[in-house]
Amino acid sequence: MRSALPFESLWAFYLVAETGSLSAAAAALGVTQPAVSKRLRDLEALLGCALVRRGANALSLTEPGRRFAEELGDGFGKLQAATQHLRSAPKPLRIRAYTTWALRWLIPRLPDFRQHHPGIDVEVSTSTAAVDLAREGVDAAVSTAPHDLPPSPTARRLQPVVVAPFSVPSLARTWCPGQPGYRLLGSKVRRLDWPMWLRANGMAAGAEPLLFESTTLAIQAALEGLGIVICAPGYVRSEVTSGRLVALPGKALRTGDCYWLILPAGRLDIPLQIFADWLEGEASTEGDRPFGTTLPS
C-alpha cells in the first residue's frame, strides 16, 4: 500500500513555487527556512525526482517541478472552493421548545414556512429546562413565562396560554367535577392548570390530577379514555374536529402566562429574523382566540 503524500510538504512546495523564495514560503507557513528545505527534500525523495534547482543565491523549478506546481494549484484551488462552499452552505435554524407546543403547534405550521422560505430549514429540539442559547448551540427558544415578565430582555411575546378540558365523548356525556371515576389528566410542567380552571369555573376540586411528563402524554391518555385532559384547545383541534375528543362545559381559562420567543442579543441573522417575524405573524393571526378557543368576556 502506497504512503499518502504529506500535505505539509505539498503545501510548502506550492508556496515555494508561487513565491520563488524559501524565506517567503517559510514566513507564510510560520516555520523556519531550514524546515521548508527539509519538507522539499522529503517530497523529492518520496517522488523520486528533483522539483527545484538550488543555486547559491537563487532557486528555480525544474520542468517536472513546474508541471507539478501547476497541477497542485488546480487541486488547492478546488480544495479552497469546496471549503468556501461548505462554510457558506445554509445551516438549519435550531429552535428549542416544549414538546407539546413543538408537536402540536409549531411543526404543523412549518410546511407553510417552508413553502414561503424554501431556503431556510428549521431543526426543532425539545426541553422544559431553562435555556442558554450560546451554551446549548440553539438559535432561539420558545418557553412560557408570565405575560408581564419576559424570560429574557430579548424575548418577544407570542400568545397567551389558554387551557380548557377535553375528553372522549363517552366521558363528556356524564362528567361531573369532583365525583369519583373522572380522572383529571395534566402535565407536571403545568400542574396548576386544573386547580385554576376549576376555581375560575366555580367547580370543586376532586382527587389530585394525574400528571404526566408532558401534555402530549396526557392528551394521549385522554384519547384512550383514561380521563379528562386540560390543555390549550389548539393542541387538540384535529381531535375535536374528528370527534375523537369533545370540549367539556365551562369557560376556557387565560392562565396569565404567555408563550415567549427567546432570541439572542444583538443583530439577528437574516434567516432567524425571517423566522421570528413569521412566528409572530402566525401567533397574531389568532388574535384574542388563542389556539382557536373562545375566551370569557
Enumerate the β-bridge partners of residue 125. Answer: 96
Domains of the chain: 7-88 (1.10.10.10), 93-141+263-292 (3.40.190.10), 161-255 (3.40.190.10)
Q: How far apart are CA 4 and CA 58, in angstroms?
A: 30
Mean pLDDT of 24-32: 85
**Has residue 31 got a pLDDT over 70?**
yes
Angle value at C-alpha 292, between 288 and 296, nearest 5 degrees: 50
Sign of the C-alpha dihedral, residues 151, 281, 105, 291? positive
| Res 289: pLDDT | 45
Kindly report, residue by residue over 88-122, the tens digit of the pLDDT: 556 889 999 999 999 999 999 999 999 999 989 99
Q: For cell 513565491, what's the residue?
A: 19
Give backbone dihedrals phi and psi of 64, rounded to 5 degrees, phi first: -60, -35
Total Cβ atoms within 10 A of residue 217: 17
Average pLDDT value for the chain: 85
**Has residue 180 got a pLDDT over 70?**
no
Q: How far apart are CA 234 and CA 164, in angstroms?
A: 10
Q: Quick check: 190 and 214 in contact, CB under 8 A? A: no
**Has residue 162 got a pLDDT over 50?**
yes
If you ran DSSP here, which 8-state letter would residue 290 be given? G
Q: What is the pLDDT confidence band of residue 245, given thresholds at 50, 70 and 90?
A: very high
**Cell numbers placing 173:** 356525556
Total Cβ atoms within 10 A of residue 85: 9
**Cell numbers placing 74:** 488546480
